[in-house]
Structure 1
């Protein structure tokens, strides 16, 4: 018999057909009503059991979390909350679940508790909705770039270069922690290591993607990246996914256009195609807001916020203008900011970014032309010699969601910047080669996928939008 799924049956009006469903029990009430979910939708389907015609020993095994197979007849529901239900003719228990041990009971659980049970939290309505939307966003990313003439590029995960220059990288080595070979200077002898040199897990595929953009025109990466930052905030992960397009012949304005169009496109896709999951998470956020002080509540619902971003232009503001706004704003003058803005050149923090978005402009903001000394070496130097053609896209509730720039295509300028930062030019010989042979202006950006999922789902902690979060002192599952 063909197996059906819950999503298709809930939208069906083909009553009196015999159907078969396999899924997991959410609740079983009064030995009569089974709420069954198979992951195809946020919604459960009600299965009505005739307990007088069903073996009691089977009914005792139908507990929350059990995997079962239901055969029966699809009928129009007379109850509230659902349009159809299944009149059960046969139940088969595929996998039992001990109700005394199963941690995901039909009650409210804290997110911290669910993180401790990350292997089972997907059984909850909240996390199933979040992960379906994560999957939808992933599809929308590939859909957008494919339809716009980009080629998907698989950047290496193991690298010998630090694209960000932050030095917070996980080392890759086959050398033992005991009896590590040393050279004459008493330092680790990496010539004895697997790759013959010091290597790490990548923080970005950008540098490699640039080389491919200079032949294929438009490429993008979408893969895992790693950062060994000892941070336990709601915004940081040690392992996360990055989306990084690189486009030959694009300048900074083109880059800002691309980022804005891309973000609007993927958000519009999930709004149009996943209304049930968004409605559930929208209601969750509304209920959560009721427990907060009025000043901390969201001005817009989740769905309103998504539509607002998708349907309105982003405000473009230079770093210099932003500094003037922040220096003269009340939170700064009254020292409400943790990091006070005193002068041009300050590195903006999340609190500053969110003030610009949520309080001052009240819309997504793209900041551009940052001071050269707070940005990476590969960003193109402006004619003023002080700023670079960098840009950050700032979102409400998150702050920076996209960081990008026009890349420095001039060999002499790039070599000077590398020298000023004491970066070993020999490590980047291949990157510099692209400036020797057919150099041209080009641009790109990086978008942390989990921050995008956070924004779309309304989840407050980045650890709740990735299946198994990797953070300091936490690599379970």
Structure 2
């Protein structure tokens, strides 16, 4: 008999029909009640066993973590918490799990412990819920862009350029690390490397996406990016996924419109399609909040927070206005900020971004027109010569979730900016070509996918919203 998912069976009307399911044991109580889950839903199905019908040796194999196939009769449940249950007629053990050594027991585990068991943590309710939401968000990203006329573009993962100018990149090489070839100056001769030049894992697909936008109109990338930043904070990963749309004939205002509509669109999809998982994650978050001091507790429950984002307009504020607000704020005057705001031109930190969102405006904020000196070379210079057409979207609990800009489409201005930053023209000759041949106003933004998942699930650490986190000193799985 063909098996069906537990998600499907829980919504099936019980008519004493025979059904077959597969899944993993969550609990086995009193040699009578098996709670089985197959990953299709946060909910388990109860399978009632008449232990006298089954061999004792078989029952010994049924413990938390074991994989089973169960065939039985679907009936109305006699217990609380579920509408249907299965009267078990046959049990097949795909694989047993030794209760003495199986680490994911039905009890509370710390996040730190579960990160050490990342290959098994998905079997917990928390991580299965998070990863189903992550999957739904990923689908919603593709759906949104497809519905809005974008083409999906696969940006290269190996690159010879540093789009962000960060210099914190992972090298890609086939040279002998113990005895690399040297040039006449005693430096490593990258001409003898696989690509004939120094290459790295990409930090962004933006520059390449610009090339495709200038032919296809509207494109987006959604793929892995890498940053060799030695940071162990709860907001940073060495390997993460980026969503990066690029649009020809879009200025900064159109860029901000799209970014806001995009975020609302994907969060709406999750609210509509992940109700059970969000309800579970909300309860988990509320239980966690109870252990915090009153001052540190969130003003909104998880689902309320997501609806608040979807239903309200984002506040748009210039960087200059934001600096004045921060400079005159109580935390700044009382020196509560770790990084005090004293003058225009300061690079805003997470504490400043969260103050603007959570304390001052109490809604998502889009900051725009940043000082040119703290932003990347490719952002369009404003007429004042001091600011660029950049924008960041700030979220409660997260800080910056989106960074974008109108790109500099003027060849002469772009060359001047590259020269000022000592970026050789020969390294980005093809990027400059885009300004020579049919240049036009164009814009785009980048959204770190894990930060979006972090916000949508209410999790506190970015390492817990990606299947196998890559962080300094950690690439175990």
> Is the TM value for this pair above 0.5?
yes
In the other structure, the counterpart of 1:412 is: 412
In the other structure, the counterpart of 1:98 is: 98
Q: Distance in 1 between matches of 2:257 and 2:397?
A: 22
Q: Distance in 2 between matches of 1:429 and 1:383?
A: 26
In the other structure, the counterpart of 1:186 is: 186
Matched position secondary structure for 2:453? helix
Q: What is the CA distance between 1:5 and its match in structure 2? A: 0.9
Q: Distance in 1 between matches of 2:158 and 2:5?
A: 41
Matched position secondary structure for 2:79? coil
Q: TM-score, normalised by structure 1?
A: 1.00
Q: C-alpha offsets along residues 230-283 of structure 1, whole Å, 9 cap, x if unaligned? A: 000000000000000000000000000000000000000010111000000000
Q: What is the CA distance between 1:310 and its match in structure 2? A: 0.6
In the other structure, the counterpart of 2:228 is: 228
Q: Distance in 2 between matches of 1:185 and 1:285?
A: 59
Q: What is the CA distance between 1:15 and its match in structure 2? A: 2.2
CA contact (8 A) 2:14 2:76 kept: no
In the other structure, the counterpart of 2:295 is: 295
CA contact (8 A) 2:369 2:391 kept: yes
CA contact (8 A) 2:14 2:84 kept: no
Q: C-alpha offsets along residues 2-36 of structure 1, whole Å, 9 cap, x if unaligned? A: 11110001111142110001100000000000000
In the other structure, the counterpart of 1:63 is: 63
CA contact (8 A) 2:19 2:71 kept: yes
Is 1:88 the counterpart of 2:83? The answer is no
Q: Which runs of 5+ in 1 are unaligned?
A: none
Q: Distance in 2 between matches of 1:228 and 1:119?
A: 24
Matched position secondary structure for 1:186? coil
Q: TM-score, normalised by structure 2?
A: 1.00
Q: Distance in 1 between matches of 2:65 and 2:201?
A: 38
Q: Distance in 1 between matches of 2:408 and 2:15?
A: 64
Q: Distance in 2 between matches of 1:335 and 1:418?
A: 37
Q: Distance in 1 between matches of 2:38 and 2:435?
A: 53
Matched position secondary structure for 2:338? coil
Q: What is the CA distance between 1:56 and its match in structure 2? A: 1.1
In the other structure, the counterpart of 2:218 is: 218
Aligned residue pairs total 477
Is 1:276 the counterpart of 2:276? The answer is yes
Q: Distance in 2 between matches of 1:185 and 1:424?
A: 20
Q: What is the CA distance between 1:312 and its match in structure 2? A: 0.6
In the other structure, the counterpart of 2:307 is: 307
Is 1:122 the counterpart of 2:122? The answer is yes
Q: Distance in 2 between matches of 1:387 and 1:15?
A: 69
Q: Distance in 2 between matches of 1:84 and 1:315?
A: 48
In the other structure, the counterpart of 2:401 is: 401
Q: C-alpha offsets along residues 107-151 of structure 1, whole Å, 9 cap, x if unaligned? A: 000000000000000000000000000000000000000000000
Is 1:36 the counterpart of 2:36? The answer is yes
Is 1:450 the counterpart of 2:456? The answer is no
Matched position secondary structure for 1:31? coil
Q: Distance in 1 between matches of 2:341 and 2:418?
A: 29
Q: Which runs of 5+ in 2 are unaligned?
A: none
Matched position secondary structure for 2:22? strand
Q: Distance in 2 between matches of 1:170 and 1:427?
A: 18
In the other structure, the counterpart of 1:9 is: 9
In the other structure, the counterpart of 2:343 is: 343
In the other structure, the counterpart of 1:153 is: 153
RMSD across aligned C-alpha pairs, in angstroms?
A: 0.5
Q: C-alpha offsets along residues 403-429 of structure 1, whole Å, 9 cap, x if unaligned? A: 000000000000000000001110000
Is 1:201 the counterpart of 2:210? The answer is no
CA contact (8 A) 2:402 2:447 kept: yes
Q: What is the CA distance between 1:40 and its match in structure 2? A: 0.3
CA contact (8 A) 2:182 2:189 kept: yes
In the other structure, the counterpart of 2:321 is: 321
Matched position secondary structure for 1:69? strand
Give 4+ residue runs of structure 1 displaced > 4 Å after superposition: none
Q: What is the CA distance between 1:447 and its match in structure 2? A: 0.2
Matched position secondary structure for 1:149? coil
In the other structure, the counterpart of 1:20 is: 20
Matched position secondary structure for 2:62? coil
CA contact (8 A) 2:234 2:460 kept: yes
Matched position secondary structure for 2:295? helix
CA contact (8 A) 2:235 2:461 kept: yes
Q: Distance in 2 between matches of 1:438 and 1:94?
A: 62
Q: Distance in 2 between matches of 1:256 and 1:4?
A: 44
Greater alpha carbon shift after TM alignment, 174-183 vs 398-407: 174-183
Q: Distance in 1 between matches of 2:240 and 2:475?
A: 13
Is 1:462 the counterpart of 2:462? The answer is yes
Q: C-alpha offsets along residues 17-60 of structure 1, whole Å, 9 cap, x if unaligned? A: 10001100000000000000000000000000011111111111
In the other structure, the counterpart of 2:243 is: 243
Q: C-alpha offsets along residues 165-204 of structure 1, whole Å, 9 cap, x if unaligned? A: 0100000000011111111111110011000000000000
Matched position secondary structure for 1:391? strand
Matched position secondary structure for 1:28? strand
Q: Distance in 1 between matches of 2:344 and 2:133?
A: 40
Q: Distance in 2 between matches of 1:355 and 1:78?
A: 52
In the other structure, the counterpart of 1:439 is: 439
Q: C-alpha offsets along residues 335-392 of structure 1, whole Å, 9 cap, x if unaligned? A: 1111000000000000000000000000000000000000000000000000000000
